[in-house]
Every structure is written in C-alpha cells, then in structure tokens.
Amino acid sequence: MNVPPVDARQIDRAVAILRQGGLVAMPTETVYGLAADADNADAVRAVFAAKGRPADHPVIVHVADSIALGRWARVVPESARALARDFWPGPLTIVLPRSARASDLITGGQDTVALRCPSHPWAHALLAAFDGAVVAPSANSFGRVSPTTAAHVLADLGIKPHGKIDLVLDGGPCPVGIESTIVDLSGVAPRLLRPGLITREQLQQVLGRTVEAADADAPRAPGRLEKHYAPRTPLALVAPESLRARIVEFAARRLAVLAPASELGSSDPNVVLALPAADDPDEYARLLYANLHRMDASGAELLMVAKPPQGPEWLAVQDRLDRAQSGAALLPNPPIQRL
Ligand code: TXA
Ligand code: MG
C-alpha cells in the first residue's frame, strides 16, 4: 500500500486546529477518524454534533504510545501491556477501567475507556506533534458507511462553512479498511467486542487464555448495533451459487453486484456496476467500504453482495456485511425479503 509521505505543514495546521478545539479528519490504518482534543469537552461535544451521534455512544481515545495507557486507565493489567507490546501501534482497541481523565462524555457514562494507538504514519505524526490524545470516531455521519478515503469524508461531512469540520488530512486510502478489533480487558475474562484484522485467535495466543467471543447483544459496544455501516440503498447478501438466478429474477431493477469474478456475468443489462470480490479476506476488507460507497453512488436500486466464505479469517468482513444488510433501507417491494 502506498501511503503518501507525511506533510509536516499539514500536520502543523491540524495541531493548531486541535488546540483551538476544532475537528480534523485524520487517516488511520483502519478508517478515517474525526479527531478532536480528548481533554476539551466542547471539542468532544462538537464531534458528536458533526456526526449526529447519540451522546451515550462512547468514543475511542487515540494515543501516541503505550505510556498513555496509565494516564487514561486507572488499572493497567499485564494483559493490556502484553497486547500493546505486540499490536501497538496498530488496529487494536483495548477497553480498561477509566481514570478520572476520561470524562463521561468520552465513555458514555461507563466506568471504562477504550484506547487505541494507530500505526498510520499521518495519525502517528499528528498524535506525536499534538502531544495529547484525541477522540476519533469514524469520520462519517452516524449509521453510514465508514470512510476509507479523504474523498469519502469530504462528500459526507465537508469543510466549514458549508460543511461540518475544519480540515481533512489526505493520507491516501486506508490499508486495513475496516475498524479496529476491540477487546475488553475490564472484566473477569477478556472479551472480544468487535472483530477486526487482529483476530481472536491472535489475541488468545498473546494472552495465553480464552478470549470470549463477540456477543451478538453485547450491550457496551454500540458499534455492534444493527443499522451501522449501512449504505442508503437496500443491500442483500446472496449465496454465490444462486447469484446468477437472483440477477435474472431482479431483471426489472438496476443492480450493483459485488461477487467473485467467476460469478459475474459479462452482460446483464440490469447490472449497472459489477465489482469483483477479492478472495483474500484482508484484501476484501481493505476494499469493502470503498466498494459499498461506489455501489451506493451507482444509481442501483439494490446492492447484491455474494456471501463470503465461512471461517474465522472472514469473521470481521461477515460482521460488517451483516450490519450493512440489516441497516440498509428496506426495499418497499416484497421480493427482497426472500433473498
Ligand atoms: O478503527 C477504529 O477503531 C476507528 C478509527 C478511526 O480509529 N474508530 C472507530 O470509532 O471505529 P467509532 O466511534 O466509529 O467506534 C468506536 C467503538 C464503538 O463501537 C463504541 O461503542 C466502542 O468503540 N467503545 C468505545 N468506548 C467503549 C467502552 N468504554 N466500552 C466498550 N466499547 C466502547
Ligand atoms: Mg463508526
């Protein structure tokens, strides 16, 4: 992946904006985040307002290094240090009992705080220069597909005065493409709250113990709510072997299709956009949101996505697709219910 070299002047501008309580969209290795000074309550409130995000949804505090664990968490177990040692900087978020520095605004009133140290060179440069911490939810309107390019952020949130934020740092397309893995270390047993590039198996290997699986109704991770990561257009997951039949069945509708190249026909008149799906799970994840954004903008009335294979390495992608499907506006017409 080609990440453009960090532009020091842009970083300086971003730091000045953060110090004044402004909002900066920053590239991370997972998705673009909407950064604001974590120690400035008004700035944190402005993030929620720009996203249209409910106040009880906690945000992740992004830090420059693992030393910051002890500033934001009142207890830092050896398990957290071990995970930070192996996976930071990188796409892993660790939930710990909060310190007094983590306000109710950040934690949604919970007694825990989520911490992450991103590896993207631009995010890293920003955090190092800012010499503080930033909250950074994904830089999209609440409930919409997360942004993996600067253009996605501009199209959704936009720059003031017409838009909602102060600056977008363009660090190229995000190399991971889906949000960080979240592991909760605040309870008796470690628990996976959101699957991501770093798998449960990898966490277990480092911790030397079982990590409880992501629980469908885990109450503490609203990112796991349905109606998240959803395109505006209805989306249907279909078995790859029935894709051809579905395309024909929906001949009267404009479709956008994401499926293995072998399943894509060459000339279905109702298919306005056909995107080949990667057969490697990490590559699939990297392109997933960009593909959903493209399909959503294609003028299609229905997005058809071939179900990816089973298996633990596909869990994070499967999780995002399930949510995209359940969150997408339902087509008023009954046939979609049968897919
Ligand atoms: O990859 C990522 O994590 C991206 C980039 C920008 O770093 N950020 C991101 O933020 O995905 P957001 O706000 O879209 O998702 C944050 C998730 C939510 O599901 C939230 O519920 C969970 O983190 N979270 C935050 N604080 C938590 C806490 N104290 N306990 C449990 N879950 C928490
Ligand atoms: Mg998000």
CATH of residue 295's domain is 3.40.50.11030
Output the CA 114–ligand 1 centroid distance in Å: 7
Domain span at 268: 235-324
Query: Which residue's CA is minimally distant from atom 22 of ligand 1?
Result: 221
Cα(60) to centroid(ligand 1), Å: 5
- If one counts the domains in the chain, the total is 2
What separation in Å is there between the alpha carbon of 98 and the centre of ligand 1? 15
Atom of ligand 1 nearest to the CA of 113: 29
pLDDT at 226: 45
CA 137–ligand 2 middle distance (angstroms): 6
Shared domain check, 319 and 288: yes
Q: Is 140 in the pocket of ligand 1 (CB under 6 A)?
A: no
In this structure, the answer to whether residues 48 and 106 fall within a common structural domain is yes
Same domain? For 137 and 266 the reply is no
> Are 202 and 295 in the same domain?
no
Task: Assess whether 108 and 19 both reside in one domain.
Answer: yes
User: Is 278 a domain residue?
Assistant: yes
117 with 263, same domain? no
The CATH number of residue 116's host domain is 3.90.870.10
* Ligand 1 contacts CB of residue 171 (under 6 A): no
Asked if residue 266 and residue 207 are part of one domain, the reply reads no
pTM: 0.94
Of 213, 243, 270, the residue at which a domain comes to its end is 213
Q: Is the Cβ atom of 182 under 6 angstroms away from ligand 1?
A: yes
Query: Domain boundary residue among 161, 179, 213?
Result: 213
Note the pLDDT of residue 2: 79
Residue 92 lies in a domain: yes
Residues 290 and 186 in one domain: no
Q: Is residue 11 lining ligand 1, measured as CB closer than 6 Å?
A: no
| Residue 312 is assigned to a structural domain of this protein | yes
Same domain, residue pair 207 and 305: no
Given the CA of residue 33, which atom of ligand 1 is nearest to it?
6
Ligand 1: which residue has its CA nearest to atom 18? 223
Q: What's the CA-to-centroid distance between 51 and ligand 2, angstroms? A: 10
Confirm whether 67 is domain-assigned: yes
Ligand 1 and 231: CB distance under 6 A: no
Let me know if residue 1 belongs to a domain.
no
* Alpha-carbon 234 to chain mean position: 20
Q: Domain check: are 291 and 180 in the same one?
A: no
In a domain, 219, yes or no: no
Would 183 be classed as within a structural domain?
yes
- Please give the pLDDT value at position 31: 98
Whether 138 lines ligand 1, by a CB cut-off of 6 Å, is yes
User: In this structure, are 147 and 241 located in the same domain?
Assistant: no
Tens place of pLDDT per residue across the chain (339 aa): 679 999 999 999 999 999 999 999 999 999 999 999 999 999 999 999 999 999 899 999 999 999 999 999 999 999 999 999 999 999 999 999 999 999 999 999 999 999 999 999 999 999 999 999 999 999 999 989 999 999 999 999 999 999 999 999 999 999 999 999 999 999 999 999 999 999 999 999 999 999 999 765 554 454 445 456 789 999 999 999 999 999 999 999 999 999 999 888 778 899 999 999 999 999 999 999 999 999 999 999 999 999 999 999 999 999 999 999 876 665 544 444 445
**Final residue of a domain: which of 213, 247, 269?**
213
Q: Does residue 127 share a domain with residue 83?
A: yes
Assigned domain for 226 exists: no
Please identify, by atom number, the ligand 1 atom nearest to the C-alpha of residue 180: 1
Distance 138 CA to ligand 2 centre (A): 4
